[in-house]
Amino acid sequence: MFHAGLGVSGGFVGVDVFFVISGYLISGLIMKQIQNDSFSLLHFWVRRIRRILPASVFVVSVTIVLGSILLLPSDFRNLATSTIAQQLMLSNVYFMKSIGYFHPHSETLPLLHTWSLAVEEQFYLGYPLLLVFLSCYTTRTVFIILSTLAVVSLIASEWTVFEYSSAAFYLLPFRAWELLLGGLLWFLPQFQQGVTGRLLANIQALSGAGCILWAGLVFDEQTTFPGISALLPCLGAALIIYSNSTHETVVGRLLSLRWVVFVGLVSYSFYLWHWPVFAFTRYWLGNELSYTVAMVCVAGSFLLAVISWKFVEIPFRQRGSIISSKRTFVGASVASIFILVVAVGLRYTDGAKFRFSEDALVYDERLTKNPMAKFNRKTEQLLNGQFPKIGVVVSGATDFLLWGDSHGLAVSTYLDTLSSELNVSGTVAARHATVPFLGMNTTSDKNQWNDLVFEYIRSQGIKNILFVSRWSNTFRPDTAGTEQGNRAIQKLRETLVLLQKLGCTVWLLNQVPQQHFDPTKRLWEAKLLGKPVPTGDSKSEYESVQQYSNDILKSFSNLARFVDTSSVFLDERGGTRIGDSDGSYYRDNDHLSYYGTEKMLGGPLSSILNQIREGRDK
């Protein structure tokens, strides 16, 4: 429901509930077998393979086939890369390094959801060994050790979520406490019997359900997560499990209804299918799906789940009793190797770009010429003075500094080329998802990053500053007049005043039009269907998103020069330009490609650099 946009803004906590359930079930299975001297690590892993692999191989294989039909070469190549990571049980590491879970672009990545399976798989590589090692200790000692590990993991998650949010979200060390919480339930004493025990069990079960529902309905993408926030749904799941371990509660009876149980039976396949269905749909229709389309996706995913449950999951589980462990491992290895070979081949052929003609490929190939990561820097690098230089290489202070977020990174590659042509030297200080002025970011790391940028400007004596940012995220109409909105305006003003005191000339480049769709997909579709080059959002749509932030930037005329590029992007029909027959101006719905920066901002940026050069040469 969260992925479908059906009102459950915190539905992503379903993964956390799953981790608790998984930890409880697997811990019970392992501990009972250890106590009966019947536990076998080999048999444990064979069961996990039979449980997870068949449906996973099926879904991933179909996803690759669909990708060959629906994806542009660069995106198909990315799917191949994520497939390799998925087969190696490293999806969570891959996506941690490449994209945030809540980033808009992540909603079109067909295998993003496999990160949670990777976390579980990694956990169950080591967890059985730990339990076997601890089996010589008393139950109380085991409980204390596992509790300590869970607390350490939770504390690490809470600290990391503020400094390295992607790592906290994706990586096992910061999620392990959720699985351990489920495991700890197995060691707790049983509920007391009788009327009092039944009453307490019902109270706990209802409280647990309330915790999960509250998190699902109140949490959203702005919630700091996981960390302490994840305790709410996790404790909710733990309360439901524990309260129903010895008593049948109201919640337990609801969860025992036949149709609910059936959803549970197909839930693994449902989870595997729903995300590729939504990802491919959003890839072509845009992130904002209508209610009807979303419901069709849900229904289609559920139908596919029932099919794969009945014809893939069940047969392999039934055969599992007669298939030897050796055959299971051989079959699993062959399936994984086959998928790996296919994925490597797709990477080698650049996403099988031979599928399309050269004139269609121009929309995809131009995007690869703007690697935004090239100039991105972390705080540690700035502490060591590792600011990337562009244009003419000089030993002393550069002529200008670009201060920005990912929008600044998007124009940096072309700005590097242009600076060299105009004999100007520059420094890039741009970082993803970082508001480019002092004291306005949500983490101490990002605020320190901006402090280091300002100190670099001061110490190096840089006199020209160019700000490039996604201003509509910082200055939003819904925050006008609020404490948050006023604070953002005040912090930018304070930064500009400090720069003015240093004798800096500042340019504020207004944001490029943010589209409601992926322009490259629209251009690609038009090319394949023989249609004329389309336009993007209308002028009124553009102004509804960005007029407020533009007005704020203009209000600082006494402190900075506002560079309005709106007219460059608007065509004679009242629409925004998104590309031409030679390429797309965008790399996604709001970042410019190298070609787009050259075509749309070449004039304004040349004017700024010429002014900087003339001022330097006086």
**% pLDDT > 90, the chain:** 64
Q: What pLDDT is stored for residue 180 in this prediction?
A: 97
Mean pLDDT value across residues 586-607: 92
Q: What pLDDT is stored for residue 26 in this prediction?
A: 93
| Cβ neighbour number for residue 512 with a 10 Å cutoff | 27
Cβ-Cβ contacts under 8 Å for 496 (sequence gap 6 or more): 437, 506, 556, 559, 560
At residue 334, does pLDDT exceed 60?
yes
- Structure tokens of 522? 């629209």
At residue 442, does pLDDT exceed 80?
no
359-398 residue pLDDT tens: 778 877 666 655 677 888 888 888 888 899 999 977 778 9
Cβ-Cβ contacts under 8 Å for 121 (sequence gap 6 or more): 48, 52, 89
Name residue 404's beta-bridge partners.
430, 468
**% pLDDT > 70, the chain:** 96
At residue 174, does pLDDT exceed 50?
yes
What does the mean pLDDT of the chain come to?
90
Whole-angstrom distance, CA of residue 513 vs CA of residue 545 = 8
101-159 residue pLDDT tens: 887 788 999 999 999 999 999 999 999 999 999 988 998 999 999 999 999 999 999 99
SS3 label, residue 589: coil
Q: What pLDDT is stored for residue 445 in this prediction?
A: 85
Whole-angstrom distance, CA of residue 550 vs CA of residue 429 = 22
Q: CA nearest 207: which of 257, 251, 245, 253? A: 251
Q: What pLDDT is stored for residue 323 in this prediction?
A: 54
SS3 label, residue 118: helix
Confidence of residue 322 (pLDDT cuts 50, 70, 90): very low
Whole-angstrom distance, CA of residue 407 vs CA of residue 285 = 24
Amino acid (one-letter) located at 612: I
Whole-angstrom distance, CA of residue 489 vs CA of residue 556 = 10
> Domain locations in the chain?
11-188+257-353, 372-515+546-569+602-617
SS3 label, residue 255: helix
- Structure tokens of 193? 């019997």
At residue 93, does pLDDT exceed 60?
yes
Burial 367-387 (b: 16+ CB within 10 A, else e): beebebeebbbebeebeeeeb
190-207 residue pLDDT tens: 766 666 778 889 999 999
Mean pLDDT value across residues 322-342: 78
459-505 residue pLDDT tens: 999 999 999 999 999 999 988 889 889 999 999 999 999 999 999 99
Whole-angstrom distance, CA of residue 241 vs CA of residue 25 = 10
Q: CA nearest 145: which of 130, 126, 128, 159? A: 130
At residue 325, does pLDDT exceed 70?
no
Q: What is the 3-state secondary structure (H, E, C) of 157-196?
A: HHHHHHHCHHHHHHCHHHCHHHHHHHHHHHHCCCCCCHHH
Q: Is the peptide bond before 54 cis (omega within 30 degrees of 0)?
A: no
Query: Crossing angle for the helix pair 176-184 and 14-35, nearest 10 degrees?
Result: 50
- Structure tokens of 509? 């480049």
Q: How many degrees, rounded to 5, is the angle at CA 579 between CA 587 and CA 529? A: 100
Tell me which fold the domain 372-515+546-569+602-617 belongs to. Answer: Rossmann fold (3.40.50)
Name residue 592's beta-bridge partners.
586
Q: For CA atoms 227, 153, 132, 122, give the dihedral sign.
A: positive
Are residues 585 and 533 in contact, defined by beta-carbon separation less than 8 angstroms? no
Q: Burial level of 304, CB count in 10 A (0-12/13-18/19+)?
A: buried
Burial 556-574 (b: 16+ CB within 10 A, else e): beebbebbebbebbbeeee
Amino acid (one-letter) located at 2: F
Amino acid (one-letter) located at 361: L
Query: Crossing angle for the helix pair 176-184 and 114-134, nearest 10 degrees?
Result: 50
| Cβ neighbour number for residue 161 with a 10 Å cutoff | 22
CA distances from 197 to 208, 210, 249 (A): 16, 20, 11
| Cβ neighbour number for residue 575 with a 10 Å cutoff | 18
Are residues 13 and 114 in contact, defined by beta-carbon separation less than 8 angstroms? no
In sequence order, which ranges of 530-565 are alpha helices (DSSP H)? 539-554
Cβ-Cβ contacts under 8 Å for 71 (sequence gap 6 or more): 79, 283, 351
Q: What pLDDT is stored for residue 369 in this prediction?
A: 57
Greater model confidence, 453 or 104: 453
